[in-house]
Chain A
Amino acid sequence: MGLDITWAVDWVRQSADVIAEHRVELITLDREIGDGDHGENMDRGFQAVLPKLDDLPAGSTPGDVLKLVATTLISTVGGAAGPLYGTAYLRGAVAAGSAASLDGAAVAAVLAAARDGIVARGKAETGDKTMVDAWTPAVEAAALAASNGADAAAVLAAAADAARAGSDATVPLVARKGRASYLGERSAGHRDPGAQSSALLLRAAADTASVSAGA
């Protein structure tokens, strides 16, 4: 069963709720190894997307929603997260194309394109203690699930689980990109806030997909 515009809009609304709910947690994580603005900036960005969802024209596709999120985050978030997430959603929108519905393979392709966009902009590699550490395992798990014939909801569930594990795995790492890298060894022992927000957003995607699939 494919995921359509209803799911995409639900995902964005759920994302805004989840980020608002975790705003203080993300600020706290970022204060420990960065500058303490990640939760505030992401919350500002997703709250700015919400009113725009109502203006989507009839016949809009999941790709249109992703593009709307991309341009809004680029314009409102700032910091490194704005351009990085903006690029991720934009590349995801391109991969989604004009399809009205995304199957498992299409979802896996969207996630891979998003991850590639983050890597292209931020130039971080796996193990640098950044959001890439959540995205790469998520993309790999999604690709595996899709190749085994999983439907879109199951692909997203696999991606969300892997992103969660990837976020957990950033705790012992020494940061090599972003502001946490200034701390050197002192960055070890803290979860990366970008990996955490990525895991939350992918979890929201999976949760809304399972509701769509069940409906």
Chain B
Amino acid sequence: MKKIINDPKRVVDESVAGFGLAHADIVRVEMDPIHVVRADAPVAGKVGIVSGGGSGHEPLHAGYVGFGMLDAAVPGAVFTSPTPDPILAATKAVDGGAGVLHIVKNYTGDVLNFETAADLASADGITVRAIVTNDDVAVKDSLYTAGRRGVGGTVLVEKIAGAAAERGDSLDEVADLAERVNANARSMGLALTPCVVPHAGEPSFTLAEDEIEIGIGIHGEPGRERIKLEPADRLVDRLIEPVLDDLPYATGDRVLLFVNGMGGTPLIELYLAYRRAAEVLEERGIMIARSLVGNYITSLEMQGMSLTLLRLDDEMIELWDAPVQTAALRWGR
């Protein structure tokens, strides 16, 4: 394992400290318990939005703290949900009197810790609503699994809900909108290589030189199927077809196409994949109204990608285009 780290136990603390120094104009970093808040938090009268989860998915979530998106992010240990204490501290720090929305990716640990924090915040008189993202079609949503994972769609939920909170929507309005975005988003990913959790020191799974995993999540967990490497267009088809068929997306729909890198994939490959995804959507008569391409929700140094489609309506488009000023997304301001 070769990594640019000091003590594996200090990776998250040292990285978050650096993030705070680099973006002091946008965020404030608290180290005990660890959380990242907007520099001007709490914003009086505005719904506060808190997200969080295991580290290792950067820029998610701290990279999305700032004007027009999140009010706070709570980074846990690598691939491990944060405990309730920092989630509660972040919730209190961003409560501007209009309530707080928790955006939680659907993983057992994240849900349990955010639930506990929400209970504690309620006991302190803060109104909290939670929305759990679950856009990954690779996992069968049934009684026999923990349910679909929250993956790429989470970034889109955070941007659109953040814009709604910024324009002054109420907690219920922001939460309902977040639910609507999640309900219209679907994703699927693949990996060419595993990733190495710093304190584990070994790859999360092994793949032969010519093998790939289809249907991976964002924690280095293996996917549902292992196949031989194929040309990019065929790989894109393997991801986009289950996504298209699941909602399903139909002729005439307007979508946001999000091609996401898992951390170790260069943009040249992501744009190459985008080209094929756009071709497939055109064949189906689906219009790409907005796009996002890059490493936005990652799995450490994993090589791979995920595709996310979001079916847009006029309000979502307006909120997607609204100004945002965070470390990882910035436009219009």
Contacts and interface: CB of A to CB of B under 8 A. Distances in A.
A183 B222 contact: yes
A35 B79 contact: yes
Contacts of B144: 174, 176, 181
Contacts of A177: 108, 145-146
Interface string A65-97: 000000000111111111110000000000000
A186 B222 contact: yes
A36 B139 CA distance: 19
Given A37-B197, A80-B108, A74 B82 contact: no
A35 B221 contact: yes
A44 B139 CA distance: 31
A64 B294 CA distance: 51
B4 interface: no
A178 interface: yes
Interface string A35-77: 1110011001000000000000000000000000000001111
Interface string B137-148: 011100111100
B193 interface: no
Contacts of A183: 221-222, 224
Given A31-B200, A83-B112, A178-B146, A74 B221 contact: no
Contacts of B83: 74-78, 82
Interface in A162-211: 174, 176-179, 181-184, 186
Q: Is the interface of B mostly helix, strand, loop or mixed?
A: loop
B68 interface: no
A75 B145 CA distance: 27
B211 interface: no
Contact of A41 (B80, B107, B112, B140): B80
Contacts, number: 111
Contact of B224 (A44, A74, A176, A184): A184
B245 interface: no
Contact of B76 (A78, A176, A179): A78
Given A83-B113, A122-B108, A182 B221 contact: yes
Contacts of A184: 140, 145, 224
A36 B146 contact: no
B222 A79 contact: no
A182 B149 contact: yes
A117 interface: no
B202 interface: yes
Interface of B: 54, 76-85, 107-109, 112-113, 115-116, 138-140, 143-146, 149, 197, 199-200, 202, 204-205, 217, 219-222, 224
Q: Which 3 A-B pairs have the closest CB atoms?
A: A80-B109, A79-B109, A83-B112
Given A37-B79, A44-B77, 19 more contacts: A27-B199, A31-B204, A34-B221, A36-B220, A40-B80, A40-B200, A75-B85, A78-B77, A78-B113, A80-B108, A82-B113, A83-B112, A84-B112, A177-B146, A179-B107, A179-B146, A179-B219, A182-B145, A182-B221
